[in-house]
Amino acid sequence: MALRIFETDPNAKPKQSFANDTVGRFHGGKQVDNLPVALSEWRVTTGDPEVAAAIAQLMGGTPVDTDSTSENFIEILTTQDKVKAVISGPDAISSDLKLWNGSALIHHCDGVEFLSPEEDKGKPCRCPALMEDRKAAAKAKRGPSPSIAVTFRIAEDYDLGLFKLQTGSWKLAEVLHEVENALDRIGSEALCSIELELVEYTTKKGRDVSYRKPVIRVLKSWNDAIADASKSL
């Protein structure tokens, strides 16, 4: 039999701490009629109404309950294409290459060797050597695409909890080593800017191209950011 002391005074119930939990995800797109659609501002999903309300206050938008069966069923279409983030270090970023057939993972490697299944781990994956060929194979569903996950806190509400960004961006994959090196040089938590950067150009054939790519800018150590903020008070 459980205690029921908070039924009569729910406001006295201690609030749950999310400081070390992954409480939500950032997305650069969404599914519309089963088709992927790129967004110009961040979409955040969570399963907690308090987290959703905090995101809406910080980044704009309105929390909406969706019919998603995932734990992050509350969606906020924010009005921001940038978020100041605190990344603990290079270990907060994971990356590999994956090819899925529905829900089945049929190719998993690091670009040179298989990472799974266990019996193939360490064996050459035989992916194309050239980046252009890798991208072409992935586009044709004959080769794996990047699978990048970044775990971070929101600088403006550090104790809100951990958030995760998962992306298959080749553009980010191409410079991810630079981000990891910058985090490694800081050697502690770093203040970063995670952005959906607008890219616009005209092709040689005169076609205008416009898209958004995820970008991670490492700005300074989090301790330095706190010190700078206290000086400005």
The DSSP line for 163-221 is EEEEE--HHHHHHHHHHHHHHHHH-S-EEEEEEEEEEEEE-TTS-EEEEEEEEEEEEEE
pTM of the model: 0.86
Which residues lie across from 28 on neighbouring strands? none
How many other C-beta atoms are found inside a 10 Å radius of the C-beta of residue 210? 10
Structure confidence by residue, pLDDT tens digits, 143-197? 999 999 999 999 999 999 999 999 999 999 999 999 999 999 999 999 999 999 9
Q: Is residue 193 part of a domain?
A: yes
In one letter, which amino acid is 117?
P
Mean pLDDT of the chain: 92
Which residues lie across from 87 on neighbouring strands? 190
Q: Is residue 140 part of a domain?
A: no
At 43, give phi and psi (nearest 5°): -105, 130
Q: Is residue 195 part of a domain?
A: yes
Tell me the mean pLDDT in the region 63-87.
Answer: 95
- 170 touches 146 (CB < 8 A): yes
Q: Is residue 160 part of a domain?
A: yes
Looking at residue 17, its pLDDT comes to 46
Structure confidence by residue, pLDDT tens digits, 210-227? 889 999 999 999 999 999
Domain that holds residue 213: 22-91+155-167+189-231
Cis peptide before 117 (omega within 30 of 0): yes
Which residues lie across from 167 on neighbouring strands? 148
Q: Is residue 70 part of a domain?
A: yes
Within 13 Å of residue 88, how many CA atoms lie on the same side as its CB? 14
Looking at residue 1, its pLDDT comes to 44
Domain count, the chain: 1
At 200, give phi and psi (nearest 5°): -135, 135
Q: Is residue 79 part of a domain?
A: yes
Q: Is residue 208 part of a domain?
A: yes
Q: What are 50-55's contacts with CB under 8 Å, separation 24+?
A: 50/15, 51/18, 51/23, 51/24, 51/160, 51/161, 52/24, 52/76, 54/157, 54/160, 55/24
